[in-house]
Amino acid sequence: MHKGKNYAAALEKFDRESLYPPGEAVGLVKDIATAKFDETVELAVRLGVDPRKADQIVRGTLSLPSGTGRTARVVVFAAGEAAAEAREAGADEVGADELVARVEGGFLDFDVAIATPDLMGQVGKLGRVLGPRGLMPNPKTGTVTTDVGKAVTEFKGGRVEYRTDKVGNVHVRIGKVSFTREQLLANLHAVIDELARAKPAAAKGRYLRSVSVSSTMGPGVHIDPAQARLVVEDLVATA
């Protein structure tokens, strides 16, 4: 796949095979970003888990200390007082049966879906549509809740979801290229901390297999897992 001159030029500014300390890696991503828009910065972590086994799926949510640099589009499946609460909190779309019908009809212009427990019967019918996109409400991620106002506020304010894909990778947005190095590093460490807390008891061997960070249009910069793992080891030691 042809990446273009800017991508090729970016590759010349660092060693693609080297492992960098987190701070240096984040600095490189900022330096080699050349797009005319404010690129998103994403952290990718390969975990030593087998996501085919239910007890090794790693998923949850966390609030990034520096935010994400964008406001998430949130829809809420709710009725009555809960629906009013969601609207007051700033949800982009709120509804019950009619919202379910819209999503069935192809409406997917949102980043987070929240539902009250009483509507999960209807929302469950959307599994084939929302599931593959990682948008299905789930109690483990705080997106099935009676406190919809709080959930909307948190996701609008920088709370993000994470989940291992079918091969054990976790991808999380940690900000924008316009963020300072310190802001991006704070978010990166927050994700590593959270993944450490979420380590399944059934996971054996090396947990952090690989770590990299990249911008929307740029190549991935590999982070030394041993240095990223220092955060994990500190948490385990104090647990």
CATH of the domain at 88: 3.40.50.790
Give the list of residues 6+ apart from residue 60 with CB closer than 8 angstroms, or none: 140, 141, 161, 162, 163, 194, 198
H-helix or E-strand containing 26?
helix 22-32
pLDDT above 90 for 107: yes
Residues 180 and 121 in one domain: no
Residues 229 and 170 in one domain: yes
pLDDT above 90 for 41: yes
Q: From CA 137, how far away is CA 133, in angstroms rounded?
A: 11
Residues 152 and 81 in one domain: yes
List Cα–Cα distances, 35 to 64, 74, 184, in angstroms. 24, 27, 18
* Lookup: tokens for 137: 């409400």
Range of the domain at 86: 74-156
Look at residues 141, 156, 171 and tell me which one is the last residue of a structural domain: 156
Q: Number of structural domains, the chain?
A: 2
Give the confidence band of 221 by pLDDT, cuts at 50, 70, 90: very high
Q: Output the pLDDT for position 8.
A: 65
Q: From CA 148, how far away is CA 188, in angstroms rounded?
A: 27
Residues 179 and 210 in one domain: yes
Look at residues 117, 138, 156 and tell me which one is the last residue of a structural domain: 156
- At residue 6, what is the residue type? N
Give the confidence band of 11 by pLDDT, cuts at 50, 70, 90: low
Tell me if 163 sits within 8 A of 59, measured CB to CB: yes
Q: How many residues does the chain have?
A: 239
Look at residues 156, 174, 197 and tell me which one is the last residue of a structural domain: 156
* 46 three-class SS: strand
Decide the pairing of beta strands 159-163 and 208-215.
unpaired
Q: What is the pLDDT of residues 121-133, one digit of tens each?
A: 999 999 999 998 8
